[in-house]
C-alpha cells in the first residue's frame, strides 16, 4: 500500500519544504520535505523537483517498511496516518508502538488516542509535551478517521494542528 493523496497532503503541511539544508531540533541535517540522510550536509541546496522526488522516494521506502508490519486490513488513510507517524518518529519506534498494535488488533477506535501519545520531545534533556507534536498527532488522528473516498480539498490540517496545540 502507498501513501494516500490525503496522507501526502498532511505530511507536506506538517513538514513544510525547505530547499536549503538545515539542522532540525535534534541537530540532524534535513532538506526538502523532512528528508535526512548522509548526503544532506550544510550548504546543500535542492530544486523543488528534487525535494518532491525525495519525498516520493522516502514515502515509498517507508511504506515498504510499514506494509509487512500491518496485519489488519486498513484503509488507505489509516495506513497513511501510521505512515505519517512513522515518518516523524521513525519506523523502528512505530514498529513497537501501541498505535500499530491496536491497529493490528482491529481496535480502530483506539488508534487516534495511541497516536496522540507521541506528543513529546526532549528540551534540555527533559521529555516535555511539544505543542507542535500535539497538533501533528491530532491531524494524524483525523486522517485515520477520514474516509478513503474523501475528495480534495482535504481537511485543513494546519487548523486541526493549531486547535489541538492551543488546547
Task: Name the residues annotated as catalytic.
Answer: 15
Taking a C-beta distance cutoff of 8 angstroms, is the pair 24, 2 a contact? no
Taking a C-beta distance cutoff of 8 angstroms, is the pair 119, 45 a contact? no
Q: How far apart are CA 118 and CA 114, in angstroms?
A: 8
Q: 113-134 burial string, b = 16+ CB within 10 Å, else e?
A: ebbbebbeeeeeeeeeebeebb
**Backbone phi and psi for residue 13, each to the nearest 5 degrees, phi listed first:** -70, -25
> Which secondary structure element, helix H or strand E, spans residue 117, and what is its range?
none
**Backbone phi and psi for residue 87, each to the nearest 5 degrees, phi listed first:** -60, -35
HSE toward the beta carbon, residue 85, CA cutoff 13 A: 35
Measure the CA angle with vertex 147, ends 141 and 152; round to 5°.
95
Amino acid at each position: 500500500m502507498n501513501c494516500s493523496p490525503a496522507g501526502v497532503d498532511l505530511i507536506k503541511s506538517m513538514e513544510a519544504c525547505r530547499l536549503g539544508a538545515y539542522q532540525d531540533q535534534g541537530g540532524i541535517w534535513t532538506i526538502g520535505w523532512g528528508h535526512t540522510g548522509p548526503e544532506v550536509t550544510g550548504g546543500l541546496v535542492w530544486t523543488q523537483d528534487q525535494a518532491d522526488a525525495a519525498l516520493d522516494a522516502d514515502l515509498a521506502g517507508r511504506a515498504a517498511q510499514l506494509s509487512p508490519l500491518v496485519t489488519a486490513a486498513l484503509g488507505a488513510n489509516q495506513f497513511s496516518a501510521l505512515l505519517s507517524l512513522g515518518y516523524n518518529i521513525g519506523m523502528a519506534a512505530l514498529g513497537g508502538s501501541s498505535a500499530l498494535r491496536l491497529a493490528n488488533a482491529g481496535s480502530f477506535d483506539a488508534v487516534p488516542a495511541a497516536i496522540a501519545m507521541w506528543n513529546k520531545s526532549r528540551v534540555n534533556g527533559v521529555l516535555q509535551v511539544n505543542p507542535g507534536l500535539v497538533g501533528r498527532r491530532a491531524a494524524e488522528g483525523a486522517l485515520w478517521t477520514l474516509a478513503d473516498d474523501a475528495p480534495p480539498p482535504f481537511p485543513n490540517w494546519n487548523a486541526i494542528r493549531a486547535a489541538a496545540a492551543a488546547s
